[in-house]
């Protein structure tokens, strides 16, 4: 269970997150939505140790995450992808995949090679194994990022705009893969502006606006929530 209690984060005069409290249970598929600048990516950055929150606590099981370094958080079983893919461009697809597994030191070379082959098949990139990641399309880079975190089989997956700039055919493939991961017991927290996809595949939605959690609930509840409609249409939340 990932519990976020009253976290806040500001950058200069901008309050990016204010007193956000939310929990994510094991095996959930949660959509984290909100207009641009609502604090979704900042929240992910706080969970994964890139930012240290100004206030509040982030608990993962018994561990307190705020203050931990990103690599420690990854080792606890929280993997993430980025809005703008952070693959290692000049390394091959295979090398990109091997890095997370090598950091763990749990698997030997042979086991890592076998795992790499499996992931390459799953993300349908067997033929690109030796290709430098910089040659991949935007969509393929998104897939590669998910493949990279799957190398260590983490329990929690935090995915930041995995459908952004992805070809419709590849998007379908990606959606299918995420549902498959969810069925296998993974917890997925998905940030996306692709509303049809989010409403189709997520079980629960959490909505942020201007750094504040405005509501959460099932896709049907969120669809009918006036605060969400206002936030997306630029209306006044207090109105």
Partner 1 sequence: MKQLSIFVFVGAAACYPIFFRDYWLYVAIIGLYYAILSSSWAMLAGQVGIISFAQAAFAAVGAYTSAILVIRLEVPIAVGILAGAGSAAIFGFLIGALTLRMRGPYLALTTLGFSEIFRIFLTAEFELTRGSYGLKVPLLFDGNKVYLYYIGLGLLSIGLLTLMGILNSRVGLFLQAMREDEDGAATRGVNTVYYRLYAFVVTSAFAGLAGGYYAHVVGLVSPRMSLISEMGLILAMGIFGGLESLLGAALGAIILQGLTEYLRVFEEWRLAIFGALVLFTLRYTPEGMLPKIYELANLLWRRSLQMMKSGSN
Binding site for partner 1 (CB under 8 A): 48-50, 69-71, 73-75, 79-80, 82, 86-91, 95, 98-100, 102-104, 148-149, 152
Closest distance to partner 1 from the beta carbon of 96 (Å): 8
Closest distance to partner 1 from the beta carbon of 53 (Å): 17
Closest distance to partner 1 from the beta carbon of 101 (Å): 9
Closest distance to partner 1 from the beta carbon of 216 (Å): 25
- Closer to partner 1 by CB, 108 or 169: give it: 108
Comparing CA positions, the residue from 193, 206, 197 lying closest to residue 28 is 206
Closest distance to partner 1 from the beta carbon of 84 (Å): 10
- Closer to partner 1 by CB, 68 or 231: give it: 68
- Closer to partner 1 by CB, 75 or 173: give it: 75
- Closer to partner 1 by CB, 31 or 79: give it: 79
- Closer to partner 1 by CB, 95 or 122: give it: 95
219 Cβ contact partners less than 8 Å away, ≥ 6 residues apart: 31, 198, 199, 202, 203, 204, 205
- Closer to partner 1 by CB, 82 or 163: give it: 82
Closest distance to partner 1 from the beta carbon of 15 (Å): 23
């Amino acid at each position: 269970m990932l519990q976020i209690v009253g976290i806040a984060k500001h950058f200069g005069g901008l309050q990016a997150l204010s007193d956000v409290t939310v929990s994510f249970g094991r095996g959930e598929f949660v959509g984290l939505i909100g207009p641009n600048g609502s604090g979704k990516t900042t929240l992910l950055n706080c969970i994964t140790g890139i930012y240290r929150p100004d206030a509040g606590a982030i608990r993962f099981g018994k561990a307190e995450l705020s203050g931990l370094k990103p690599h420690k958080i990854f080792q606890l079983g929280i993997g993430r992808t980025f809005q703008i893919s952070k693959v290692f461009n000049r390394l091959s697809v295979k090398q990109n995949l091997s890095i997370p597994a090598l950091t763990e030191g749990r698997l030997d070379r042979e086991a890592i090679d076998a795992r790499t082959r499996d992931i390459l098949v799953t993300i349908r990139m067997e033929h690109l194994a030796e290709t430098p990641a910089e040659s991949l399309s935007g969509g393929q880079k998104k897939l590669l990022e998910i493949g990279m975190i799957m190398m260590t089989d983490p329990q929690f997956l935090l995915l930041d705009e995995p459908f952004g700039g992805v070809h419709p055919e590849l998007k379908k493939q990606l959606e299918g893969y995420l549902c498959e991961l969810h069925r296998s017991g993974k917890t997925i927290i998905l940030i996306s502006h692709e509303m049809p996809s989010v409403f189709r595949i997520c079980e629960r939605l959490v909505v942020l606006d201007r750094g504040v959690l405005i509501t959460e609930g099932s896709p049907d509840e969120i669809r009918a929530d006036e605060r969400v409609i206002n936030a997306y249409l630029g209306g006044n939340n207090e109105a």
